């Protein structure tokens, strides 16, 4: 595909939102993450995702993180071109057993977790009693390491507070209600 972005170039000639892709070279998997431009020690979504990419000894897997335009990711043909370019031509391993060759397709773990939660609550449409509660906050398990480095614990660190609820269908309902209450939709 000729109009696929050249991944890895420092200056992409693209305007618009970006998405991050984490490639685990051990699991041979792709994880989708929202874009992040803040301090690395405040990138809790990345920390949470990489927690599961460890050997039994605790040694972390090797991986690479890429940023690509969201518009390329939304287009099926361009997405394939991006994955072919980044993955060196495609997947191996268990993908060979899948007739659709989709075993190693990327996934957005936070969205999948939010959908599981939403379904477990019988797919509410008007709100959720657990929306934004401390139990739903996404936090990495790095409190000990952060303390050793003199950094605040993840729950007390500056930066955005992100909940699994931010990835749930109810998020738009709650956001719309809050904006309506503030008069943001009044003419």
**Rounded distance between C-alpha atoms, residue 27 and residue 134, angstroms:** 31
**Rounded distance between C-alpha atoms, residue 45 and residue 52, angstroms:** 12
Q: What are 144's strand-pairing partners?
A: none
**Rounded distance between C-alpha atoms, residue 176 and residue 182, angstroms:** 10
Residue 6 confidence (pLDDT) above 90: no
Residue 2 confidence (pLDDT) above 50: no
| CA nearest to 161, candidates 19, 15, 38, 5 | 38
Residues 90-136 have pLDDT tens digits of: 444 445 555 565 544 666 889 999 999 999 999 999 999 999 999 99
Confidence of residue 186 (pLDDT cuts 50, 70, 90): confident
Residues 129-162 have pLDDT tens digits of: 999 999 999 999 888 988 999 989 989 988 889 9
**Rounded distance between C-alpha atoms, residue 20 and residue 35, angstroms:** 6
Q: Please provide the DSSP assignment of 99-132 as one string.
A: TTS-TT--B-HHHHHHHHHHHHTT--SS--TTTT
Confidence of residue 8 (pLDDT cuts 50, 70, 90): low
Question: What is the percent of the chain with per-residue pLDDT over 90, rounded to a whole number?
Answer: 48
């Amino acid at each position: 595909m000729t109009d696929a972005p050249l991944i890895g170039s420092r200056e992409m000639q693209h305007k618009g939102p970006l998405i991050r892709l984490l490639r685990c070279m051990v699991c041979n998997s792709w994880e989708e993450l929202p874009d992040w431009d803040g301090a690395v020690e405040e990138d809790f979504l990345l920390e949470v995702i990489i927690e599961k990419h460890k050997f039994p000894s605790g040694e972390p897997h090797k991986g690479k993180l890429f940023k690509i335009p969201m518009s390329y990711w939304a287009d099926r043909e361009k997405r394939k071109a991006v994955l072919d370019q980044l993955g060196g031509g495609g997947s191996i391993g268990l993908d060979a057993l899948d007739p659709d060759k989709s075993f190693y397709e990327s996934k957005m773990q936070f969205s999948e977790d939010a959908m599981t939660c939403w379904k477990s609550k019988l797919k509410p449409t008007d709100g959720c009693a657990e929306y934004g509660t401390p139990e739903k906050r996404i936090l990495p398990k790095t409190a000990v390491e952060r303390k050793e480095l003199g950094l605040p614990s993840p729950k007390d660190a500056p930066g955005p507070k992100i909940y699994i609820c931010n990835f749930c269908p109810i998020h738009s309902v709650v956001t719309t209600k809050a904006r309506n209450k503030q008069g943001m939709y009044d003419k």
